[in-house]
Chains A and B, each alone.
Chain A
């Protein structure tokens, strides 16, 4: 990235004795759809509010378009926000809500009308101009909040879990609309969510946060395929984890000893040495189920405890000796056959499908 639009450098935030953020460093590029993903309390909203200027960082620097933002109040920042609660002004109608910020720009009346009209059009609220705030549905309120922020033509649009209050169908519809809108406008979006699927659907890059720290910052694909640690692996999708000890490393392949789980192999990983105790991580869709057979590398014998038929695929839950947690396996439904409960089977996977996690 040649010249980032947003540069966050060593930002920390304390609330009294509680440390909400520990030294955050992020660069966000122009026109990027960037998501902050994490469970509640991970610091993602605090970071977003620091970008907006509603909170100030305790220490650290924040640059937007090369300008130092620390100490600059929210009204003088090139950012606008869509609030989680939408924060629609209850004493104003749709048009007045959308025009709220424009009044500060000293525009001509005609200019203002045009911009409000365009914004209403963009979020498909045509005809609701004079509707009162409390006569709007949840989805309409969300659209007003979006139009109210976009009409200001910010360099950065900040979105704080804007879809979490909507039902599933409406949420999926809005996800597509948001993505399309961001592509046409070319504005940088910073999007906060706790929903990993939503983050994957929308984002160019995702910063996965936990405990006020960034666990991993990557594209959705990299986060899923190469999680940096156990926490990321388990937050994004599901992951089978098998404890094992590294016994040999050659030709970019690690050999591991899983004890009762038998021998395993996995692609080499940075910082892993002979004798280390690690976790071998395998996604359920990488695990295939076979009839019982001889033991071998990446082969674990188990018994079917649960088989969930989902039409296009079947989710198996297997009990295996030497493992506290069950093995999860997702098989594509190609033959229409299901292994019945209690069947002895063999769970296997390819070496390339496995990852080694050290923490």
Chain B
């Protein structure tokens, strides 16, 4: 188990020290206030999300340890949660994590073409990152936007009602540092 983890953790991508910033500390406090005082373990998923968001978009062991120490939990309890849930990245990801849904509703409405367009534009196949580390591409399970299929999620946001062209436009905009419109990509009828 531990050896597998180390293989996935390229040394040059792991920071020397992980500590919460001042704003993150305030966020931790806010999260802990949601749960009974003796149930701080409930905060482990929110804290792993926070950790991933604060530091590079993935969870090296050292960072999971920070979460464990913050919640006074055994390390293994944090590792088993982090490895169970697919949203926690156990290896480095690109600046933009492009997750293309290929489940039934999206497949029927052409997710093959979306994935193909995404792979072509980023130069990364599903499960890989682009050479410039800008994009990581994943094929994911149903993201629950089936009446707006096909769709993809990039980092926190949904881009729905896609076709190959609009999917490429979204990613090109992100690549150029722009902020594409979140949500439906259907052009408003003029």
* Chain B associates with chain A: no
- A residues bordering B, Cβ < 8 Å? none
